[in-house]
Amino acid sequence: MSRRLPPLNALKAFEAAARHMSFTRAAEELFVTQAAVSHQIKGLEEFLGLKLFRRKNRSLLLTEQGQSYFQDIKEVFTQLTEATERVLASTAKGALTISLPPSFAIQWLVPRLNEFHMLHPDIDVRIKAVDRDEGSLSEDVDIAVYFGRGRWTGVVADKLHAELLVTVCSPQLFDQGIPLETPQDLKRHVLLHDIDRKDWKAWLKMMNIEGVNVNHGPIFSHTAMVLQAAVHSQGVALVNSVLAQPELLSGRLVCPFSEALTSQDSYYLVCEPSQADLGKIKAFRDWMLERVRKEQESIKRMTGANPVES
C-alpha cells in the first residue's frame, strides 16, 4: 500500500505557523514570505480536505482538527530534529558551536584553540560568547561552559577548574611608593571588583582585616576587564586564578598575597546527555577535560595560593 504524505514544505509551514500562531513569524523562521506560508498551508488544507486555521479578531486560531494534527506532527518534527542532531554529532568533523562567558573565552579557550585544531582539523569551532547561561542549551549550541554550582537539570555537567580567587596587581604598583607588603596595606589601595563587591568582602573577612573601604573602587561586568584594569596599575583585583593565568605567566600581573578563597561556584562544561559521547562533542569534551586536569596543579604552584573555603 502506497503512503499518502503531504509535501514536507507544507508540513514545515504548518508546524511553524501553529507553534508561533502567526504566519508572519513562521515566514521569518523559514526565510520565506508570508504569502508563501499562506500558500503552503492552503495546499495542505486542500490535501487533507479540512480547515486547519481560522481567524478571529485579527488573531490566528487553530481549528479543533488543526490542533489535533499539530500535536501529532509536533512530536514527529521533534524526533526528526533529535535524530538529525545525533547523526551530525556522531562524526568527529563539521561545525561545533560552543557557548561560554566572554572572559572565559578570551582568557582561557581562545589561546588554546590552535591545540584543539591540530588534534581535530576537521572540526570547525564556532565561539558564541554569552554574558549569562539560562540553565539549558539552545538549539544552535552543541556544548557550553556555565558558571555556577552544577545544579542544572537535564544536562551533563563536568566540573572544570576549582574556583580559586587570588589577589593580583601589576609589578609597577609596587614602584608607586605605596606599600603593599601585608593585607593591612590594602587600606591605601584601590580595590577592583568583579561583578560586585562580595568577593572582596569575603576575602577581607577571612583575613580578619578591618578598616578597608570595600564599598569604593570600580566594578566591572567581566573578569577580562578587571584584569586589564589591574595590568594598567589601577588597583588590586581579586579574580579567578584560571582567568588570570595568561597575565601571571607573562609577568604583567603578580600575586601579592598567597591567601585565596575557594568558592562554591565553578566553571562547568555542559552538554546534552544524548550527545556527550558522540563524535565532535566527545572529542572536544575529552580534550578540554584533559587540558584542565593538567593545568590545575600548575595554577596552584604559579599563584602560590593557600586556599581557604569561603
pLDDT, tens digit, 9 for 90 and up, residues 53-99:
998 877 889 999 999 999 989 888 888 877 776 665 555 567 899 99
Looking at residue 1, its pLDDT comes to 43
CB atoms under 10 Å from CB of 232, counted, come to 11
- Please provide the size of the chain in residues: 310
Q: How far apart are CA 219 and CA 205, in angstroms?
A: 19
248 and 126, same structural domain?
A: no
CA dihedral for 209, 213, 218, 220, sign (positive or negative): positive
Within a domain: 274: yes
132 and 111, same structural domain?
A: yes
Within a domain: 89: no
175 and 52, same structural domain?
A: no
Q: Of the candidates 85, 73, 62, 72, which has an alpha carbon nearest to the alpha carbon of residue 11?
A: 73
Q: How far apart are CA 48 and CA 211, in angstroms?
A: 78
Within a domain: 3: no
Q: How far apart are CA 302 and CA 281, in angstroms?
A: 31
Q: Which of 83, 112, 139 is the last residue of a domain?
A: 83
**Spatial CB neighbours of 231, under 8 Å, sequence gap ≥ 6:** 170, 247, 252, 253
150 and 249, same structural domain?
A: no
Domain interval for residue 279: 94-161+266-298
CATH number of the domain to which 275 belongs:
3.40.190.10
What is the grid cell recorded at 221?
561586568
Looking at residue 287, its pLDDT comes to 94
| Beta-bridge partners for 267 | 147
Q: How far apart are CA 34 and CA 23, in angstroms?
A: 6
Within a domain: 77: yes
Q: How many domains does the chain have?
A: 3
Q: Of the candidates 97, 231, 219, 245, which has an alpha carbon nearest to the alpha carbon of residue 161?
A: 245
133 and 180, same structural domain?
A: no
274 and 149, same structural domain?
A: yes
Q: Which of 83, 116, 139 is the last residue of a domain?
A: 83
168 and 38, same structural domain?
A: no
103 and 42, same structural domain?
A: no
Looking at residue 93, its pLDDT comes to 60
The better pLDDT of the pair 56, 302 is held by 56
Within a domain: 88: no
Q: How far apart are CA 141 and CA 272, in angstroms?
A: 10
**Residue 2, pLDDT above cutoff 90:** no
CATH number of the domain to which 24 belongs:
1.10.10.10
Q: In this prediction, what percent of the chain has a pLDDT beyond 90? A: 47
Within a domain: 271: yes
135 and 282, same structural domain?
A: yes
| Residue 178 CA from chain centroid, whole number | 39
Residue 148 near residue 265, CB atoms below 8 Å: yes
pLDDT digits (tens, 9 = 90+) for 191-201: 999 989 999 99
Please state which of the ranges 36-50, 115-129, 294-308 shows the lowest mean pLDDT.
Answer: 294-308
Amino acid at 286: D
Q: How far apart are CA 163 and CA 256, in angstroms?
A: 19
Within a domain: 2: no
Q: How far apart are CA 271 and CA 141, in angstroms?
A: 9
Integer-rounded Cα radius of gyration of the chain: 27
Within a domain: 117: yes
Looking at residue 190, the DSSP 8-state letter turns out to be P
Q: Which of 83, 111, 128 is the last residue of a domain?
A: 83
